[in-house]
């Protein structure tokens, strides 16, 4: 279950079905040459690795993949094609999810004020 503080800061995360473990993170890991991935999205469900932290940046990244899935029926094929032709690191959908998550995360970071400034 999504921790309450994350749901409070990022209410969009409540629209995702969050799961722990299962085969999808292991298959994703095998594709990347690791035992597992931290998270993998399949339509509106995000499967987190058993040991993955409830990290806001990761969850926002995966939420963006939910949006990508729901925006086009062709998304799974396009994502796979990007990964095969460009590699995971240069996949435009990964770049988009990273940028989107960073922007959302930065908006909610507590600001640090400097005394006397």
Per-domain residue ranges of the chain: 4-107
Domain 4-107 has CATH 1.20.1070: no
Contact 44, 12 (CB under 8 A): no
Taking alpha carbons only, the member of 26, 41, 22 closest to residue 101 is 41
Contact 18, 1 (CB under 8 A): yes
- The residues near 39 (Cβ < 8 Å, ≥ 6 apart) are 25, 46, 47, 48, 49, 52, 58, 59, 61, 62
- The residues near 85 (Cβ < 8 Å, ≥ 6 apart) are none
This prediction's pTM: 0.84
Output the furthest CA–CA distance in the chain (Å, rounded): 55
Per-residue pLDDT, 14: 94
Contact 70, 63 (CB under 8 A): no
Containing H/E element for 57? helix 56-71
Per-residue pLDDT, 108: 67
What is the mean pLDDT for each group of 10 consecutive residues in the chain (117 residues)?
88 93 83 80 93 91 95 93 89 94 78 43
């Amino acid at each position: 279950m999504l921790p309450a503080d994350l749901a409070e800061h990022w209410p969009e995360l409540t629209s995702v079905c969050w799961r722990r473990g299962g085969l999808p993170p292991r298959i994703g890991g095998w594709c990347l040459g690791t035992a597992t991935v931290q998270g993998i999205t399949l339509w509106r469900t995000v499967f987190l690795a058993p040991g993955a932290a409830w990290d806001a940046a990761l969850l926002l990244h995966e939420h963006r993949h939910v949006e990508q899935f729901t925006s086009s029926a062709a998304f799974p094929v396009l994502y796979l094609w990007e990964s095969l032709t460009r590699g995971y690191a240069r996949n435009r959908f990964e770049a988009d999810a990273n940028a989107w998550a960073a922007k959302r995360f930065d908006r909610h970071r507590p600001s640090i004020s400097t005394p006397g400034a």
